[in-house]
Structures are given as structure tokens and as C-alpha cells.
């Protein structure tokens, strides 16, 4: 897949966003959060992400080192993206590609990450 614009949302549609990027390479993390939610994550710079709807519709959960804002819809509970910083300090978004329209999960390259050990 090449970099393109995708639209995503939570289940009920209270949170909607657009993201520009290559969503074909994702990670499957085994940390306590990701293993329970089944998220498949792709990371993009914050400038490639636009929240269209739902800033006030989301709750925030932080755990472990409390540096990533794991956002979830207050109505349906879906975690469609998270906010944080990359290793160099730049603002990033972690996109749950399962929440994007038009993604064929069978065509993704999935890298397993041992987040449980971090």
C-alpha cells in the first residue's frame, strides 16, 4: 500500500478522524493493553492526523510510564487512536488500523512486538 488518506472512527461514530500515511505495516503488541483490545497499530506524525469529530466524546487512560494518552470513546469504548511522542520527541499518533475504512486486514504486514517486556 502507498501513503493515502483514510477515514476512521469509533464504533458509534462519535469520534471521527482522517489520517494520511502508509497503513500496510502495523504492529501487534503483547502488552497488557494491546493484548486485551486486539489493536493493530500504525504510527504517523501528528501533522498527518486530523480529528474531525469527538474531542469531548473521548476519555483518556494512561498506564505504565503515563506518557501515552490512550483515548477511548465514552459511549462505545473503542480505542481508535492514541497520542504520544516518538523516540526523538516529535508528536505522534498511534492509529488502530482496525478502525479505518477501506483497510483489508489480510493484506497487512504485521510485526509482533514484545511490549510486555518493556
Contacts of 65 (CB under 8 A, 6+ apart): none
* CATH of residue 84: 2.170.150.70
pLDDT in tens, 44-90: 999 999 999 999 999 998 877 767 899 999 999 999 999 999 888 89
118 lies in a domain? no
The residues pairing with 81 across neighbouring beta strands, listed in sequence order, are 95
Domain of 63, in residue numbers: 4-112
117 lies in a domain? no
Residue 8: burial class (beta carbons within 10 Å; 0-12, 13-18, 19+): buried
83 lies in a domain? yes
Number of structural domains (the chain) is 1
8 lies in a domain? yes
51 lies in a domain? yes
Gap between the Cα atoms of 52 and 71, Å rounded: 15
Count of positions (residues) in the chain: 118
32 lies in a domain? yes
pLDDT in tens, 1-39: 567 999 999 999 999 999 999 999 999 999 888 889 899
Amino acid at each position: 500500500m502507498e501513503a493515502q488518506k483514510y477515514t476512521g472512527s469509533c464504533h458509534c461514530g462519535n469520534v471521527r478522524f482522517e489520517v494520511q500515511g502508509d497503513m500496510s505495516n502495523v504492529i501487534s503488541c503483547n502488552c497488557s493493553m494491546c493484548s486485551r483490545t486486539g489493536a493493530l497499530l500504525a504510527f504517523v506524525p501528528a501533522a498527518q492526523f486530523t480529528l474531525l469529530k469527538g474531542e469531548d466524546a473521548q476519555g483518556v487512560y494512561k498506564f505504565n510510564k503515563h506518557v501515552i494518552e490512550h483515548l477511548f470513546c465514552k459511549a462505545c469504548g473503542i480505542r481508535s487512536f492514541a497520542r504520544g511522542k516518538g523516540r526523538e520527541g516529535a508528536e505522534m499518533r498511534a492509529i488502530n488500523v482496525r478502525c479505518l475504512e477501506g483497510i483489508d486486514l489480510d493484506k497487512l504486514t504485521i510485526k509482533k512486538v514484545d511490549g510486555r517486556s518493556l
